[in-house]
Chains A and B, each alone.
Chain A
Amino acid sequence: MRRPSTIAALILVFALLAIGSHWFAFRLTSGVLHEAVDLWEVQKVKAVGNEVIVLLENESHRVRLTARLTAGRNSLGRSLARRPADEATLRAVMDQAYAAGGASILEVTNRNQTVIYRAHDPAQNGDRADHWGIFEALEGTGALVSAVESDTLTVRAVEPLRHQGQIVGTLTAGTRIDSDLLRRLGSELGLHIFLVSRAGRTLAATVPDAAPPDTAAIQEAFTGKIPVYRHWSATHLTAAYLPVTIVDDAYVVVAEMEGGAAYMHLAAGNRQAALATLAILAISVVAGVLLMRWILAPLRRLRESAALTLEALTGRPMQKRRGDEIQTVVGVLEALTDYLTQRNRELEEARQAADAANAAKSQFLSSMSHEIRTPLNGILGMADLLRRTPLDPQQARYLESLAASGRGLHGLLGDILDLAKVEAGKLHLEQIDFFLASMLDGLTDIYRDLAAGQGTAFEARIPSNVRVPVRGDPTRLRQILANLLGNAVKFTEAGRIDFTVERIPGPADDDRLWLRFTVSDTGIGIAPEALGELFRPFTQADSSTTRRYGGSGLGLVISRHLAHQMGGEIRVASTLGKGTTFRVELPFVRGNEAACASSAEIDELPALRRGARILVAEDNPVNRMVIEGILQTFGVEPTLVEDGEQAVAQARVGRYDAILMDCQMPRLDGYAATRAIRAEETGGRIPIIALTANAFAEDRQRCFDAGMDDYLAKPVPPVLLAQALARCIPREDGDGRNDGTGYAPTLQPLAAPREAAGPALPVLDRRALVDNPDFAGPGKEKFRARIVRLFLADSARLQDELARNAASGDWLAAARNAQTLGSSSAAVGAVALSVTSAEVENMARAGDADGLREVLPRLSFELSRLSEAFDSNGEPATSESAKG
């Protein structure tokens, strides 16, 4: 069925409501109104009836007065007293009195009650009058009496007539309460009056020949002696039956009143109410329609815009329905709901596709991690091995560029993988106890030297109250701080860097140790508009920065993610051209000192048992070669296999102290191979160390799940490999670390540099400094490293000065430079550099410019070799062979 329009529906509702209310109000009030009108009519007729009675009483008083006045005339008594009575005089007086009016009945009797004058009926003269009052008047007492005579009620006043004190007769004045009188009264009062006798006879009536209604009511009034009221709704007639005592006898006066006017008023009122209802209905409808138009206006606009939207979205014009905004809007909303449901479904499918793509991306990153790290491992490892061979200076430079590029690529790869982990929510923080101060001191030393290298002052303030053991992830904390300090050094070419650590109050109810790390520099600063972009991936403050300073722009992003994950925050404040301040606020749980001591970092190569047998399973031939080379430098014996199956077979037949197991291998991967080996183990458990390019934490867990004991991410720094092996291979000599021979390289340089005269000299004599027991022990390593770093920085400066002095022909200065360089070189055990420096000194003192041109590149070469013998921390590079 078609729905009516909104307006039509409203009109219908209004009409029904109005008619309903009118009907209800009419039903409710009609009865009450009729009752009220009836009551009012009854009250009126009662009042009128009482008025009739008063009027009748007035009539009685009038005749009594007339009787007394007339009887008071002496001539009447005198004429009666005569013998015989002077009837002529009496008649004259009485006629005169009768003519005066005031009574319709006038009668005179003598003492014998014989009527001698009767004005109203002269024919009856001579009758005996014995009605009530005559005897009493003759006894001397006047009386007012009523009587029914000839079906007419009369009221008579009887008075004695006296002559000289003697009662000589009576005088009666009377009036007839007849229809004429009633008509007179009735016309005054506007009603019909009936006077009814006890016998039920109508004595008088305002309407001739009419009988009073309801004789039963008349009898009820007589017997009950109380007024009776009757009302006839059909004829709107109201009657009062009033029992009255007229003078001395009981009658009933019926007062009947037409109440038509009142009921006509009532009917007219009802008609007016109905008309008013209709008018209200009409006004309501008009007002309602206008109001609804006004109310519906926004709805109509909504309908139109929704229709347009729907058409735009679905391409289908909407079916419009005039006048029914609500249904139309409902239709639009239904259509929109359908459309949105469809869209939601599509979006859900798209989300699932995106999730799949994201999973694919994670898989891709994981693969990339493996696929890039594996060859990169090879590049870096081979570069490391290549460095151990005799190279000419150009080759050495190329090699260094190659290694530096590889390390840069390695760092970038690490950053990208970190970011991927962060985005995948897979970056997990460790919770281990460590000494904050040790880590901070190490960092400070590194960046102080780096800063000093470019003429930047570096000041670190690490107060004693932060030198406490804490629990957290030292690696990731170091990553954050190294990033900030590295940036500060990078972007501050000359100036000052301040590194401050301080305790700050944490939030209420947080009893953790809150620390603020502040790295403040006076570098190039960041433009305000670039500050917001600072923590977005692949963004540097200035794109020219990348060209000038390099870097992926990922460091700060990762740092902030790390800080957030640790429950802290990084903030930055900067002024372009004046410097930048980074503040990192992080909470730490207080750590356990004993736990810290046991996990103290050991950065140096631990001693391994010589001749230990190590099985290496690695499918990549370059990596195999690298690991083989590294292991040979440790003095252990590697056995190399190319896949998991071979590894299982070899483990079955050989006896090994440890297995290095690559995880991703053809035929049988490292996990399966490990499980197979573990399954076949009967006696002791052989340590298996995972080697994998998969850097994610879950990979590590997977390794442990497969039964491996340790985990190393490729490319593996030799020191970490040595530490890992040291942890699992029992030592046979107790303390081999300080014997100075534990790390005797098995790999010798293949040939001396061609430029070098004589036998090749060792680059570094470790006994002088590195392995000198005087510099061993807690705290001394750092001192030693600092000496090395100072020496290296000073040597570079001296070499530059030497080259300048030699070029300008200042031989003496050049000789002094060479002497200083030789002396310090000898102190740190840089044998080759020391010998070459002595050669240069001699040539400079001799002013041998040609000789110097030949020997100076060798000095530079030796210096670079020496630099490579130490890592950036000033520690001896572990793969470097320093003994010749």
Chain B
Amino acid sequence: MSPIRPTSPAGAWPAWAIAGLALVLSAAALADDLVVPGSGNPEYVLGQLARAFNARQQRHRVIVPPSSGTAGAIRDVGENLSSLGRVGRPLKDDEKAKGLGYLPIGREPVVVVAGAGVDVKAITSAQVADIYAGRITNWRELGGRSAPIRAIGREKTDASRLALERIVLPLKEVSFPGTIKVVHLDPQLIALLDRYPTSLGFLNRSALAACTTKVVPLILDGVEPTPANVASGRYAAVLEFGLIHGPGGPGNAGRAFIEFIRSAEGKNILHQHGVSPVGD
């Protein structure tokens, strides 16, 4: 939005009118809709933060659109379509080389989650690997009632898959059979988790809040994905999400939003969603 110049000569205006106009115009210039596209991992918690931020002040409005993936954030910010993007992982070196800046927001566990119709509460890494390899196909084999395991996977580049692979090491080598669905985006995963009550998937914990059914985070290898276990390092499947900005910085609205996220209120919201704030 470019400031509107008065068409009359400045000399014809009283000084106070010009000063007032300048204030209004600069406020208008600062008041900006900030669209933060990108990863689905922080989508839900950032949406919550944005709602709180928008409610707290009128100058900026932050919009968190549906996921376009970390790659979408890098593309949009890199092409200067957005001043701020959300990513499910820190930037790689080649991405930093494009002049992008990364601001970590929070760390949280990636949890293995079962659909609302599953009565199994715990699972092991081996079982997870076997499921995705197509070797275990029924919850009965995990001690639950008989129901096919509707396993939903992610691409190898997916941040949550990469995080989970720290615990479920064989997952790196697994080639998904045709019975495993692979979706590109977190909302699609959440939709399938909701649609298939006997499903199995993995996702960062805060994003589960977007599910409409009572999906079940499973205890993995006997460790519950609590913030405490994350903090202690016992639960190693952790991803860090954050925001990225272009070479020109995050802009006024972006700075204000980041400031808010790192305020006590912002941190509180993160905590409420099981996210450990990262960064100053």
Partner of B71, one of A139, A224, A249, A250: A224
Contact B184 A225 (CB under 8 A): yes
Interface segment out of the listed B193-201, B227-235, B239-247? B193-201
Cβ–Cβ contact B155 & A225, under 8 A: yes
Q: How many whole Å from B87's CB to the nearest CB in chain A?
A: 13
Give the residues in chain B near A147, CB-CB below 8 Å: 178
Point out the residue from B71, B72, B179, B183 that lies within 8 Å of A245, measured CB to CB.
B183
**B75 lies within 8 A of chain A by Cβ:** yes
Task: Tell me the complex Cα distance, A130–B183, Å.
Answer: 21
B183 is contacted by which of A135, A139, A224, A248 (Cβ under 8 Å)? A248
Contact among B68, B69, B178, B195 with A143 in the assembled complex (CB-CB below 8 Å): B195
- A224 cross-chain contacts in B, Cβ below 8 A: 69, 71, 157
- Name the residue of chain A whose CB is nearest to the CB of B67: A225
Known A130-B148, A135-B198, A245-B188: A226·B183 in contact at CB below 8 Å = no
Residue on A nearest B198 in the bound complex, by CB: A135
Q: How far, in whole Å, are A207 and B75 apart by their CA atoms in the complex?
A: 32
Chain A, Cβ-Cβ closest to B184? A225
CB of A245 within 8 A of CB of B184, answer yes
Is there contact, CB below 8 Å, between B195 and A250? no
A contacts with B: majority SS: mixed
Q: Are B184 and A243 in contact (CB under 8 A)?
A: yes
Q: Does A353 contact B (CB under 8 A)?
A: no
| Binary CB contact string for chain A from 221 to 265 against chain B (1 if under 8 A, 0 otherwise) | 011111000000000000000010100111000000000000000
B150 touches A148 (CB 8 A): no
A120 at the binding interface (Cβ < 8 Å):
no
Complex Cα distance A316/B148, Å?
A: 120
Which residues of B from 141 to 166 have beta carbons under 8 Å from A?
Answer: 147-148, 150, 155-157
Tell me whether B183 and A223 are in contact (CB under 8 A).
no
Given contacts A132-B196, A225-B69, contact A248 B75 (CB under 8 A): no
* Docked CA distance A70–B6 (Å): 68
* C-alpha spacing A603/B42, complex, angstroms: 135
Distance of A198 Cα from B196 Cα, bound (Å):
22
Q: Is B123 an interface residue (CB 8 A)?
A: no
Chain B residues contacting A249 (CB-CB under 8 Å) are: 181-183
Inter-chain residue pair count (beta carbon < 8 A): 57
Tell me the bound Cα distance from A249 to B150 in angstroms: 12
Is B167 in the interface zone, CB < 8 Å from A? no
Bound-complex Cα distance A139 to B197 (A): 10
A136 CB–B CB distance under 8 Å: yes
Interface string of A548-585 (1 = CB under 8 A from B): 00000000000000000000000000000000000000
Name the residue on A nearest B155 (C-beta): A223
Assess A248 versus B192: contact at CB under 8 Å? Given A132-B181, A147-B178, A243-B184: yes
> In the complex the two chains form, is B183's CB within 8 Å of A250's CB?
yes
Assess A148 versus B156: contact at CB under 8 Å? Given A135-B198, A250-B184: no
Closest B residue by C-beta to A198: B182
Cβ-defined contact, B196 with A148, below 8 A: no
**A223 x B156 contact (CB < 8 A):** yes
Residues A225 and B182 in contact in the complex (CB < 8 Å), given A135-B147, A135-B198, A136-B196: no
- Max count, chain A CB within 10 A of own CB: residue among B72, B184, B198: B184
Asked if B278 lies at the interface with its beta carbon under 8 angstroms from chain A, I say no
Closest to A135 in B: B148
With a CB–CB cut-off of 8 A, which chain B residues contact A225?
Answer: 69, 71-72, 155, 157, 184-185
Per-residue A-contact encoding for B170-194, CB less than 8 Å = 1, 0 else: 0000001011011111001000100
Collect the chain B residues with CB atoms within 8 Å of residue A248's CB: 181, 183, 188, 192, 195
CB distance from A87 to the nearest CB of B (A): 26
- Closest Cβ neighbor of B70 among chain A residues: A225
Q: A135–B71 Cα gap in the complex (Å)? A: 35
Chain B nearest Cβ from A38, distance in angstroms: 15
Contact between chains at B197 and A226 (CB < 8 Å) = no
Q: Which residues 260-276 of A sit at the B interface, judged by CB distance below 8 A?
A: none
Cβ contacts A309-335/B at 8 Å (1 or 0 each): 000000000000000000000000000
- Are A226 and B198 neighbours in the complex by a CB distance under 8 Å? no
Chain B residues in 8 Å Cβ range of A245: 183-185, 188
From 128 to 159 in chain A, residues with beta carbon under 8 angstroms from any chain B beta carbon are: 130-132, 135-136, 139, 141, 143, 147-148
Q: Which of B68, B156, B178, B179 contacts A226 (CB 8 A)?
A: B68
Interface size of B in residues (CB-CB distance below 8 Å): 26
Query: A758 CB to closest chain B CB, in angstroms?
Result: 120
Over the window 1-40 of chain B, the binary record of Cβ atoms lying under 8 Å from chain A Cβ atoms (1 yes, 0 no) is 0000000000000000000000000000000000000000
Residue of B nearest to A222 (CB): B155
Give the chain A neighbours of B155 by CB distance below 8 A: 222-223, 225, 250
Cα(A521)–Cα(B26), bound, Å: 96
- CB contact under 8 A between A148 and B185, given known A130-B148, A226-B72: no
Bound CA–CA A223/B159 (angstroms): 11
Q: How far is the CA of A148 from the CA of B157 in the complex (A)?
A: 23
CB proximity of B74 to chain A, nearest CB, Å: 9
Contact A132 B150 (CB under 8 A): yes
For A247, the closest partner residue in chain B by CB is: B181
Kindly provide the distance from the CB of A768 to the nearest chain B CB, expressed in whole angstroms. 103
Residue of A nearest to B73 (CB): A226
List B67-123 residues whose CB lies under 8 Å from chain A: 68-69, 71-72, 75, 117
A292 CB to nearest B CB, Å? 47
- State the CA gap A222–B183 with chains docked (Å): 10
Q: Output the least CB separation between B199 and chain A (Å).
A: 10
Chain A 432-450 interface residues, beta-carbon cutoff 8 Å to B: none
Shortest Cβ distance from residue A427 to the other chain B in the assembled complex, whole angstroms: 70
Chain A residues closer than 8 Å to B182, beta-carbon distance: 198, 249-250
CA distance A468 to B196 in the complex (A): 139
Which residues of A have CB within 8 Å of B148? 130, 135
Instruction: Tell me which residues across on chain A come within 8 A of B196, comparing CB atoms.
Output: 132, 136, 143
Contacts of B195-237 to chain A: CB distance below 8 A: 195-198
B236: shortest Cβ distance to chain A, in Å?
Answer: 24
Chain A positions within 8 Å of B197 at CB level: 136, 139, 141
The interface residues of chain A lying within 8 Å CB-to-CB of B185 are 225, 245
Q: Which residue of B lies closest to A248 (CB)?
A: B181
In the complex, A132→B137 CA distance in Å?
Answer: 12
Give the distance to chain B from A467, nearest Cβ to Cβ, in Å. 71
A139 to B115, CA, bound (A): 14
List chain B residues, Cβ under 8 A from A250: 155, 182-184
- B157: nearest chain-A partner, CB-CB: A223
Distance between Cα atoms of A243 and B69 in the complex (Å): 12
With a cutoff of 8 Å between Cβ atoms, the chain A residues found around residue B195 in the complex are 143, 248
Task: Find chain B residues with CB under 8 A from A136 CB.
Answer: 196-198
User: Which residues of chain A from 108 to 142 have any CB-CB distance to chain B below 8 Å in the complex?
Assistant: 130-132, 135-136, 139, 141
Most chain B beta-carbon contacts within 10 A, residue among A139, A148, A245:
A245
Contacts of A223 in B (CB 8 A): 155-157
Complex Cα–Cα for A250 and B176 (A):
12
Q: Separation in Å of the A259 CB from the closest CB of chain B? A: 22
Q: A135-B147, A135-B148 are in contact. Are A226 and B181 (CB under 8 A)?
A: no
Interface centre among B72, B188, B196 (most CB of A within 10 A): B196
A554–chain B nearest beta-carbon distance, Å: 76
* Residues of A close to B157: CB separation below 8 A: 223-225
A130 and B138 CA atoms in complex are apart in Å by 11
Q: Report the Cα distance A559→B49, complex, angstroms.
A: 114
Q: Which residues of A contact B181 (CB under 8 A)?
A: 132, 248-249
Q: Which 10 A-B pairs have the closest CB atoms?
A: A224-B71, A225-B184, A225-B69, A223-B157, A226-B71, A135-B148, A249-B181, A250-B182, A248-B181, A250-B184
Show the binding face of B for A, using Cβ within 8 Å.
68-69, 71-72, 75, 117, 147-148, 150, 155-157, 176, 178-179, 181-185, 188, 192, 195-198
What are 19 A-B residue pairs whose CB atoms fall within 8 Å in the complex? Answer: A132-B179, A136-B196, A136-B198, A139-B197, A143-B195, A143-B196, A147-B178, A198-B182, A225-B155, A225-B185, A226-B71, A226-B75, A245-B183, A245-B184, A245-B185, A245-B188, A249-B181, A249-B183, A250-B182
Known: A222-B155, A248-B195; 7 extra A-B contacts, CB below 8 A, are: A136-B196, A141-B197, A147-B178, A198-B182, A223-B156, A225-B69, A248-B188
